[in-house]
Structure 1
Amino acid sequence: MSRRYAMAPGARHLLVGGDGCTARDFGAQALFDADLAVINGTGNAPLATIASNSWGLTDESVPGDFVDVMHQILVRAAAEGVGMYFASGDDPGVFVPASDPFAISVGGTSLGIGARNQRLFETGWSNQYLEVGAKGYINDGINRSAAGGGTSLIWKQPRYQRGVVPASVALPGVGDTTEPRRVVPDISAVADAFTGIQQVDVESIKKGDSYWVFADGGTSLSSPLVAGMVATVQQRGGQLGFANPALYALAGTNAVHDALPVTRSTPAKRAAVFCPESNDLCGIDSLQTLDSRIAPTPRRAPPRATTP
Structure 2
Amino acid sequence: MDTMPTSARASGHRSSVRRSARLAVGVAAVAVLAGTGLAAPSQAVGSGPGTDPTTTAPAAVRDACAAAARDEVRCLAEVRVDATARQAGRDATAATRRALAAQRVGSPAASGAAAVLPPGYGARALRSAYALPASSSRATVAVVIAGDVPNAEADLAVYRRTYGLPACTSATGCFRKVNQAGRAAPLPVADPGWALEGSMDVQMVSAACPTCRILLVEGDDPSFEALAAATETARRLGATVASHSYGADESPFVMPFTAAYRPAPMINVASSGDFGFTTAGYPAVLPSVVAVGGTTLRRSATATRGWTERVWSGAGSGCSAYFAKPAFQKDRNCQMRTVADISAVADPQTGVAVYDSYENPFGLEPGWIVLGGTSASAPLVAGMIGAADAGSTYRTGMAYRRTAFVNDVVGGSNGFCGRDYLCTGLPGYDAPSGVGTPNGLRVFTG
Identify whether the pair has TM-score above 0.5, normalized to the shorter chain. Answer: yes
1:250 to 2:402 alignment: yes
Amino acid at match of 2:442: A
1:17 to 2:169 alignment: no
Paired residue for 2:435, among 287, 290, 298?
287
The CA distance in 2 between the partners of 1:231 and 1:290, in whole Å, is 13
* Count of matched residue pairs: 234
Q: Which residue of 2 aligns with 1:86?
A: 270
Q: Which residue of 2 aligns with 1:190?
A: 345
Q: Which residue of 2 aligns with 1:73?
A: 260
What TM-score, normalized by structure 1, do the two folds share?
A: 0.68
The CA distance in 1 between the partners of 2:266 and 2:419, in whole Å, is 31
The CA distance in 2 between the partners of 1:185 and 1:197, in whole Å, is 21
What TM-score, normalized by structure 2, do the two folds share?
A: 0.48
Q: Which moved more, 1:101-110 or 1:278-287?
A: 278-287
The CA distance in 2 between the partners of 1:114 and 1:89, in whole Å, is 27
After superposition, the Cα gap between the structure-2 partners of 1:112 and 1:69, relative to the gap in structure 1 and judged at 3 Å, is same
After superposition, the Cα gap between the structure-2 partners of 1:87 and 1:5, relative to the gap in structure 1 and judged at 3 Å, is same
Q: Which residue of 2 aligns with 1:30?
A: 226
Pairwise CA distance, 1:286: 6.2
Return the structure number with greater relative CO, CA threshold 8 A, min gap 6: 1
1:108/1:189 contact within 8 Å kept? yes
Paired residue for 1:123, among 310, 315, 323?
310
After superposition, the Cα gap between the structure-2 partners of 1:267 and 1:54, relative to the gap in structure 1 and judged at 3 Å, is closer
- Structure 1 residue ranges without an equivalent (≥5): 22-26, 42-46, 127-145, 171-179, 205-209, 300-308
CA deviation profile, 1:100-122 (whole Å, cap 9, x unmatched): 10011001000112469943320
Q: Which residue of 2 aligns with 1:50?
A: 241
1:40 to 2:236 alignment: yes
Q: Which residue of 1 aligns with 2:383?
A: 228
Pairwise CA distance, 1:241: 4.1
1:154 to 2:322 alignment: yes
CA deviation profile, 1:45-69 (whole Å, cap 9, x unmatched): xx2000000111012xx3x242x22
CA deviation profile, 1:24-73 (whole Å, cap 9, x unmatched): xxx112111110111233xxxxx2000000111012xx3x242x223222
Counting strand residues as a fraction of each chain, which structure ranks higher? 1
Paired residue for 2:410, among 256, 260, 264?
260
Q: Which residue of 1 aligns with 2:297?
A: 111
The CA distance in 1 between the partners of 2:340 and 2:443, in whole Å, is 18
- Structure 2 residue ranges without an equivalent (≥5): 1-201, 360-364
The CA distance in 1 between the partners of 2:443 and 2:297, in whole Å, is 22
RMSD of aligned alpha carbons: 2.8
CA deviation profile, 1:126-177 (whole Å, cap 9, x unmatched): 2xxxxxxxxxxxxxxxxxxx01012111122110113xx2x13x2xxxxxxx
CA deviation profile, 1:178-232 (whole Å, cap 9, x unmatched): xx2111110000001121211233258xxxxx53433110000000000111111
The CA distance in 2 between the partners of 1:38 and 1:274, in whole Å, is 41
After superposition, the Cα gap between the structure-2 partners of 1:151 and 1:52, relative to the gap in structure 1 and judged at 3 Å, is same
